[in-house]
Structure 1
Amino acid sequence: MVGIREVAEVAGVSMSTVSQVVSGNRPVSAATRARVEAAITHLGYRAHPGASQLRGGRTGTIALIVPTLENPFYPLVAAGMQDVLVPRDILLTVTDASGMDRSTNAIHRLLSRRVDAMVAAPFGIPAAGLAELHDAGIPFVTLGEEPPGGGDYVHSDDVRGARAVTEHLIARGRRRIAFLGGEESVIPTQQRLEGYRAALQAAGLPLRDDDVVFTEYTRQGGRDGAALLLERDERPDAIVAANDLIAIGVLDVTRARGLRVPEDVALTGYDDIDAASLVSPPLTTIENPAREIGRACARLLLERLDGDVTEVTRAVALSNRLVVRDST
């Protein structure tokens, strides 16, 4: 099937420009429109049926599509969105799109139900899925990174957060600090790894490849990664986990092996989900403002729906903070 990406390449424009021509939501120069329409004719491209929905009635429904609902971070994003949407009498529908095939299918099915707008957490969603959002011509916001072709997005500074928590460990006298990340290819892992490495480099500590392990953003992922790190002859004296669920999995392994946290190995998480303060010992972590992220996403969507903005791309950056507890 020919998609918006192929049309954009043939016309020599961005995907967002093709979307604007197809949807008619924003002005495009006559010359650019002619190039896009010629490419559409040449390729036999057909716009997604959702492309006309803004021109004809709304459903009063906005969708949130996330990689998993097992991570408490995403329900908090949903709660923040509802803080803004409920007073406007707009219904929020939340979809767990675990895996790439499911995410693409979920986007297609949500669009076929004519949702008015959508928020998507892009990791785990292939480029084709995001391109389909452009095709639909509806407002959408991505979490964490600017979508291909432009668009609104909301993020917190993961590089800064991971650097702060690593610097905290260094200040506590830890010198062999390991990083236990989620899936290697996703943006949050890359940014948090960057912050970890920047802190080590600034402190003059070595960057050892075998001190970096990638796993999944789950409690089981934390168990699997911790088993690799802690079975070594020279085990780390601290572990920076890329989220709190991974860190909780590390606690499972340290407890099973008779290791004390923080005496034998200090441990940090990321996100500050409720469980971070409930486990023993409570986790030092980075507060990632999930609820405010949700509110920001909803505000951006409502401004698009109300026709209050014309910019192709807008970014909202939210701050995060270090929360120190007993695990360090």
Structure 2
Amino acid sequence: MSMNRPVVTALAAALCLLTAACGDSSDNDTASARTTEAANARSGYPVTLENCGRKTTFEKAPSRVVVMNGASVGEVSTLLALGVQDRIVANQQSYGMSEVKGRAAAIKALPTGDVKPNDAFDIPREAMLGLRPDLVLSTTSYGFDGKNGFATRDQLSDVAANSYISPEGCGQDNSKMTIADSYTLLRDMGRVFNVGDKAEEVIAASKKNIDAVSAKVKGKKTPKVMVLFSNMSMGSNDFSSVVAKGIYNDILAKAGGTNPFENASKTSFADLSKEKVAATDVDALVVVAYNDPNPAAYAKKLLKEFPQWPAARNNTYVTLSDSMYIGPSNDLAVEKIAKMLHPDAF
């Protein structure tokens, strides 16, 4: 059936109104690109991070997150602080206690993915790939080392999963870590999950608290503080879990203290003999508990073992847990240590 010209013209005009597709094709492509760009701007995506020499792009917020062990709770605590814990499908980080009320219980309630850790105490390659993650978090590069039986970053990328190593964790020595790295972790995860405002809120509150505490102890004598992990062995000597370097020293400095064992090692921990420990004046103890139900008992045992310490004579110690790690709560460690060292300032 043939149509006369006016009818064809009218039909074409009607289709133009319905489809808005009557312009030049290049104009349509430009308009479509602008629409996509505007939508991306509103959503905050794509987001590209430079992480340990690797560019990682997120087209949307991750929805299947796996948190590797790493003997830390910094990464999972950061996700909790940002309110995105519902994206976690498997968490291997556990502490058993926290300076933040309710956090230990919240971590315990997270799904584990029913994963059986391998001999390297973390998620083996096959189990990791079976979890179908779109983001895997690791404290250090150790968690992506194929020699340990873990999925590598390339293997994860092959199944469309992004990976992230926490600040100063590109190697396996985080002796240069500071509180600023906790803020970097918060900001990076804020961008990844499009909750940047929340990240800045947490950072601002932390800085405000630390600045207030530091102002109170400024100019005061800086006691010598021994920081160590309770009932843990990391070397061959009696005291192999004594802190030498890392974020712990930044926390101590802001609390008005100093670490007498800072130069005992080039790495995070000093492997010390009992004689070396006994010969050092220790004014106060910070005992960090890692899945230890009674760190106070360990502190009291040490004070009894070294009665010559000023810390023993004055019974000066504090027990802490996750606030001493990279994570969102370093301000609480600063505050608690400062109150122990300088009670008259509060």
Shared fold (TM-score, shorter chain, > 0.5): no
Between structure 1 and structure 2, the one with the greater Rg is: 2
TM-score, normalised with respect to structure 2: 0.40
